[in-house]
Structure 1
Amino acid sequence: MATQTLALPAQPALPTGFKRWIIVITAISAAIVELIDTSIVNVGLTDIAGNLGVTIEDVAWVVTSYAIANVIVIPMTGFLQRYFGRKSYYIGSIILFTISSYGCGFATNLEMLIFFRFLQGVGGGALLSTSQGLIYDAFPASQRAVASAIFGMGIVLGPTLGPTLGGYIIDNYHWSWMFYINVPIGIIATFLSITYIDKKPDEVNINRRGIHIDQIGILLLTVGIGSLQYVLERGEADDWFDDAVIRYLALVAAFTLPFFIWWELRGTKEPVVDLRVMKNRNLTIGSILVVIVGYGLFTSVLLYPLFAQRIVGLTATQTGKLLIPGGFITLPMFALTGRLLAKGVSPRLIVSLGYVAFGSFCFIMSTYNADASDGDFITALIIRGIGLALVNVPLINQSVSTLEPRQMPTGIAIVNMMRQIGGAFGVAITNTYVTQRTALHRSDLVSHLQPGSPALTERLNAMTQGLIAKGVNSFDAVSGAYKNLDAIVSRQALMISYLDTFRLAGLFFVVSFPLLFLLKKKKMSAEAAKAAADAAH
């Protein structure tokens, strides 16, 4: 009797040559554009507020709505890809992101802009979450580290290029071009994705009726994570718990997130996010470390431009140009990281070096003052770029290296969500800490300005005479001298608070450094690497 064998679905051949690099360029471009949009509008909020006739506090919703949509979509990516198929989900997300980008640029009022920014964030979260899987699938298992390094460049370059590009557009064009610039990229990416990206065997004939939809889990995740993200994004601007909305949403997050955890662990057999994977030590520790890295990345992206422009007096374009050398160093460092991992160098060693480099950047920046030169910033930013290149790829790989293949989609989605939440925590902590430390330092500085002090009197007289020499009458010159002194004190207090905040960021890296030694050293198997690719990030 002949033995029958079960025919396995044919695996698609790996793309080679021109097709491989078209897929890689398309995927990495989509990821970079998505990440650029997390920070590009930060330098243009004043212009947007003035053009739409709203306050800075109101226009901050342009940033908040995008971040909330991003962090909600990322952990659900695995489920959404299973339901729609990766290729269809990816192309649909590019189209949504592109149309929403046009809507943002075309917006004539704040409500319209916020609506399209939220939709842009929904599409963008999918681009980030799916691009790595496409890049992974373009390379054989032996070159997964190279694929990770290529994607890692997008993770770092996106937030870095955002303020640079945004500053250039604001200085030379209308703010709407910060969004219109995505449209041609989105159209090209859509065409290339339709033409060159192949469907995987399991997405050719999807039986959606056989896929359980965890509606309660999706609702709890959306409400809980959305509320938490709002509290972190808007807390400082709205005086934290003095604001009724912040108090209400903090209570909502405090109730729904624990309930979400219980529901995913106990309440359903087919959770939208399988939290049981958090029993894995590497994933739990790696997620904590990824939060720190996300905190450091987004804090530096926020704090460096503020320091360069408000303390040193650089323009937005000048501030952006100083980021370029660090970006050029980061690219070969990612390639080097990929090669080191491929040759079997310990990921823990590489991450440790990256941790030291990023911590050094924070402490170097904490020594600068208003006389900092372009060379000072370039040196610090190059060290930062090296640190980020050494940290990102090996840390993510090591976090999921001990997971079973079937756990990869959830594990990688959790790591990505943690990076975004780390960034939100970073922005919230930075804004709050700067505000508190500025008030404290201003009080200390003012206490040293003793009336009748010879040094103070001499300084005020010199400023008064300087204004008189410019044609100001003597009465207004005295008043102007006191206003100038107040501005000098405020600027000095702000500068010291920035230095304190850089030290705080460095301290986070120092305190969390021992956790690196709790990660189990295990090279990801070919089977696990393939599952990581199938997880589509």
Structure 2
Amino acid sequence: MAAQTLALPAQPPALPTGFKKWIIVITAITAAIVELIDTSIVNVGLNDIAGSLGVTIEDVSWVVTSYAIANVIVIPMTGFLQRYFGRKNYYIGSIILFTLSSYGCGFATNLETLILFRFLQGVGGGALLSTSQGLIYDAFPMSQRALASALFGMGIVLGPTLGPTLGGYIIDNYHWSWMFYINVPIGILAAFLSIAYIDKKADEVNIDRKSIQIDQLGILLLAVGIGSLQYVLERGEADDWFDDKTIQWLTVAAVIAIPAFIWWELRGTKEPVVDLRTLKNRNLSIGSILMVVIGYGLFTSVLLYPLFAQRIVGLTATQTGKLLIPGGLVTLPMFALAGRLLAKGISPRILVAVGYVAFSSFCFIMSTYTMDTPDNFFIYALIIRGIGLAFVNVPLINQSVSTLEPRQLPTGIAIVNMMRQVGGAFGVAITNTYVTQRVAVHRGDLVSNLQPGNPILTERLNAMTQGLAARGVNALDAVTGAYKNLDLIISKQALMISYLDTFKLAGLFFVVSFPLLFLLKSKKMDAATAKAVADAAH
């Protein structure tokens, strides 16, 4: 009886209620969304940043790459960093670092300074993403863990989706620095709310850091290996892959450091910074593979849709963003529905299967669109995408860690998150490379059909020539202009078909990986596991 008396009081007081509960939830979700927005918000402003700083577009792409590298290095180390600093301290410190770095990015007057602050922003941001779900879980009883996952899942999807929308609006109406300055008031508010309302857990009050071994070699190998791989994936296409010496050396670094990291974590140290033994768990290993596919699909769609809408259809950045709003509004209740269905005992595999079908349908629908497609057709496709992402993310994250032991959960959840980010990096690399290759192929096919003497071609050229002449262009320049216009039309058609091919490829990734869903063990989280997930740092 004594043991029971000591054990029972621990849970009820730990749960925040009323105003405090929802302040914590809103703060954590907002922090996660802001972090993920910053993974994509800069993409639409690279031209403006390059012009303002007087650098090339290739150079300024480091602004994206440095953030992604920092993110993917920090995420798997979350469990160790929280154990060492304490979750509350680590979370608040990361918010402050993210906020100060955002301000630094905004006032940067040269590329080097901007890249440095972007890297620091990525270090802080990786922690925001990794810790927010644990805070949200702690705000709900075990019976509502699925709802907590759904709330966090909204942030995972809304962040990358809202990034290009918000970035486009800022670029169209304000200076690019406001893409970073908007984080400052949000970060200050989040820091104050976290200090006031987030409680320290029992093991955070008196941390004995001397008893915690720091896996210095593991951290070094992880940073070199994952950082090098992320750089190669981010910069490969822009730098002509292995024709570039930096790509060559970093590929060698990744090939050496990643296997060395795996060996060291499994055999070389008793206190690994990332416990890779958890990947022996079938659900986690299969879930991690599926999460790579989901990351690929999420980031590829975030990259491809704005490019298609703006470069092919001719929409402005603001118009492109507005078409995302209906899909976002539909996605929110879908996350709640997914959470409710999980809570009622519906098999996660069924929900993930529905999400897979929906997202692959979005990809194949987009692969049929053209430059004449009405705006509302994009809205329908993006709604289907939102439903797919809602039904995939929450059930798959839960199912991936459902069969882990409680002590393995922090590492397991961190690995799942890292795999989504790595999948996104693979998606961007594959998309950029595939589009470039397909443009060359389709351009060659289109040009081969332009045979001299073709009456349709002759009629088209004559019409363009007469149109230019009617505007006052002299006869010789009108002919030259007609051929230039024809070349632009061919280039745009080749680019459009290449985008369609890339949407098909993304859909095929989902189709090919679909059978893996049936290898997941179907198990609902028991009370102990759910409690451990609540204590784990996401």
Q: TM-score with structure 2 length normalisation?
A: 0.98
Kept in 2: contact 1:166–1:178 (CA 8 A): yes
Residue type of the alignment partner of 1:61: W
Once the two structures are TM-superposed, the CA of residue 175 in structure 1 deviates from its matched residue by 0.3
1:475-494 pair list within 5 angstroms: 475-494=476-495
> Are positions 1:88 and 2:86 aligned together?
no
- SS of residue matched to 1:266: helix
Q: How does 1:413-428 map onto structure 2 within 5 Å?
A: 413-428=414-429
Query: Could you list the runs of 5+ residues in structure 2 that have no partner in the other structure?
Result: none
Cα offsets for 1:203-234 (capped at 9, x unmatched): 00000000010000000000000000000000
**What is the deviation of 1:526?**
1.2
Residue 324 of structure 2: aligned partner: 323
Amino acid at match of 1:395: L
Unaligned runs of 5+ in 1: none
Amino acid at match of 2:443: R
- Distance in 2 (CA, whole Å) between partners of 1:35 and 1:3 is 47
Residue type of the alignment partner of 2:463: A
> Which structure 2 residues correspond to residues 322-471 of structure 1 after superposition, within 5 A?
322-471=323-472
SS, match of residue 472 in structure 1: coil
1:144 matched residue in structure 2: 145
Could you tell me which amino acid in structure 2 is paired with residue 392 of structure 1? N
SS of match in other structure, 2:14: coil
Q: Secondary structure at the match of 1:270?
A: coil
**Counterpart code for 2:303:** L
Aligned to 1:526: 527
2:415 maps to a residue whose letter is I
CA distance, structure 1, for counterparts of residue 49 and residue 459 of structure 2: 43
Deviations 1:344-401 (A, max 9, x none): 0110000000000000000000000010111110000000000000000000100010
For residue 41 of structure 1, what is the aligned residue in structure 2? 42
Give the structure 2 partner of residue 50 of structure 1. 51
Q: Aligned partner of 1:394: which letter?
A: P
Q: 2:49 is paired with a residue of what secondary structure? A: helix
User: Which letter does structure 1 place at the counterpart of 2:94?
Assistant: S
d(CA) in 2 for partners of 1:240 and 1:6? 63
Q: Residue 197 of structure 1 aligns with which residue?
A: 198
Displacement of 1:5: 10
Matched pairs, number? 536
Distance 2:6 2:300 in 1: 52
CA distance in structure 2 between the aligned counterparts of 1:315 and 1:38, rounded to whole angstroms: 21
1:41-120 correspondence runs (5 A): 41-120=42-121
The one-letter amino acid of 1:425's match is: F
3-state SS of the aligned residue for 1:372?
coil
Structure 2 equivalent of residue 236 of structure 1 = 237
2:421 & 2:205 partners in 1: Cα distance? 32
Deviation at 1:6, TM superposition (A): 11
Aligned counterparts, 1:102-181, within 5 A: 102-181=103-182
Measured after TM superposition, the shift of residue 454 of structure 1 is 1.4
Contact 1:214/1:271 (CA < 8 Å) preserved in 2? yes
Determine the C-alpha separation between the residues in 2 that align with 1:5 and 1:305: 57
Q: Which runs of 4+ in 1 moved over 3 A?
A: 2-12
Asked whether 1:272 is paired with 2:273, we answer yes
Report the Cα distance in structure 2 between the residues aligned to 1:465 and 1:3, rounded to whole angstroms.
96
| Alpha-carbon distance change, 5 to 426 in structure 1, aligned in 2, over 3 angstroms | closer
Q: How has the CA–CA distance of structure 1 residues 463 and 137 changed in structure 2, closer, same or farther, with 3 Å as cutoff? A: same
Displacement of 1:13: 2.4
Given the superposition, is the C-alpha separation of residues 196 and 483 from structure 1 closer, same or farther in structure 2, using an over 3 Å criterion?
same
Deviation at 1:535, TM superposition (A): 1.2
TM score, norm. by length of structure 1: 0.99
- What's the counterpart of residue 289 of structure 2? 288
1:16 aligned partner, one-letter code? T
Instruction: Give the aligned residue type for 2:395.
Output: P
- The residue matched to 2:511 in structure 1 has which SS? helix
C-alpha displacement of 1:248: 0.5
Distance 2:212 2:44 in 1: 43
* Displacement of 1:7: 6.0
CA distance in 2, matches of 1:3, 1:333: 45
Structure 2 residue matching 1:89: 3-state secondary structure: helix
The residue that corresponds to 2:536 in the other structure is 535
Q: Distance in 1 between matches of 2:332 and 2:3?
A: 52
